[in-house]
Structure 1
Amino acid sequence: MLSSVKKIYGTSNEAESHGFFNYTIKPKSVVKDGERIENSVLIYFDYEDPLQSNIVVNTIKYTCKPDVKSLHIFPNPATDLVN
């Protein structure tokens, strides 16, 4: 839970009232190639009723051979091109 998020109200400044956060999860079981994972979250602001986010759909597509044990990507950090 994030307890100290401070956002500007949309009525004060619409553009600056938007926000996002990033997170990473790992599946509990094996995910098959082509499988669709759908998810959404409930967002709580103060003591208001929760708002449900849009539904996000991720379709799993394996592109590496299963025997690949490691992957080297550079430069890190990158902005446009990764080798």
Structure 2
Amino acid sequence: MDNYRVINAFFNVGTPEILIIVLIVLLLFGAKRLPELAKGLGQGIREFKGAIDGAKKDIEGSNENEKPESKENSSSENK
């Protein structure tokens, strides 16, 4: 329960905090570079999601390969 409170307190970001962050980003990078940054961020997120989906498929594929083997082993043990 204590871990939940720490995580909740750490990520407790409301509207005023988000507005301040957006303002700082605008000041640092300017309005002209923001679309480029957003595009790069979007591509990075898509690549990350793709990598996670690929890892999930690999794990599911390895689990499916193990299931028939365990059935074959159990049927050969019954003989």
Calculate the TM-score normalised by the size of structure 1: 0.19
Higher strand share: 1
Calculate the TM-score normalised by the size of structure 2: 0.20
